[in-house]
Structures are given as structure tokens and as C-alpha cells.
């Protein structure tokens, strides 16, 4: 799921729209094409940010679960160590 979220970010499209908009910055006036390019780029950026946030949430949940597993393993290990007779 995480990889799918990241794979769905249209990197090539973001680059192409950015490049097209950059190429038009020297024009004397903005026109409807500039407005459309900006709108498309902003929409794509918004969607990409949503996907990054979702990916970050999923990663955070996985890390929390792993952290809990590690803590439980540490407790179990300590209990087993406590049962051992002292060295010597």
C-alpha cells in the first residue's frame, strides 16, 4: 500500500508542468494557458502532498507497532535473564 501511494505521484507530469510554466515566465502578460498550467500544477502538488502525508502516517503506524514489539521482546529477555542464577 505504501509503495502504491508513492508510485501514484505523477513525478514526470509535475516536472513537465513546472518546466512549461517556467518557460512562460518571460512573457509580458499572464493568459488563460498560464492560469490553467498553474491550476493543474497546484492540483498535482496538492495530491502529491496528500499521498506523502498518507505514506508518512502509514510509516509512523508501522514504526509504532515495531517499537512496541521491540519493547515487549526487551521485557521478555529481561524476565528470562532475571530467572538465571547469578554468575559465579
pLDDT digits (tens, 9 = 90+) for 11-53: 888 899 888 888 888 778 878 888 898 899 999 999 999 999 9
Helix, strand, or coil (residue 88): coil
pLDDT at 2 over 90: no
Output the average pLDDT for the chain. 90
CA–CA gap between residue 59 and residue 6 (Å, rounded):
12
Q: At what angle do helices 32-83 and 11-23 cross, to 10 degrees?
A: 140
Query: What pLDDT shows up at residue 83?
Result: 94
CA–CA gap between residue 16 and residue 30 (Å, rounded):
19
CA–CA gap between residue 38 and residue 20 (Å, rounded):
10
Task: Parse the chain into domains and list their residue ranges.
Answer: 2-83
82 vs 1, more confident: 82
pLDDT at 88 over 80: no
Task: Report pTM.
Answer: 0.69
Position 69 confidence tier, pLDDT thresholds 50, 70, 90: very high
CA–CA gap between residue 5 and residue 12 (Å, rounded):
16
Query: What pLDDT shows up at residue 23?
Result: 86
Note whether 26 and 57 are within 8 A (CB). Answer: no
Amino acid at each position: 500500500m505504501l509503495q502504491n501511494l508513492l508510485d501514484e505521484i505523477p513525478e514526470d507530469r509535475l516536472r513537465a508542468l513546472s518546466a512549461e510554466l517556467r518557460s512562460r515566465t518571460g512573457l509580458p502578460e499572464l493568459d488563460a494557458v498560464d492560469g490553467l498550467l498553474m491550476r493543474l500544477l497546484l492540483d498535482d502538488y496538492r495530491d502529491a502532498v496528500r499521498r506523502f502525508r498518507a505514506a508518512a502516517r502509514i510509516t509512523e503506524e508501522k514504526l509504532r507497532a515495531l517499537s512496541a514489539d521491540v519493547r515487549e521482546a526487551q521485557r521478555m529477555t529481561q524476565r528470562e535473564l532475571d530467572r538465571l542464577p547469578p554468575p559465579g
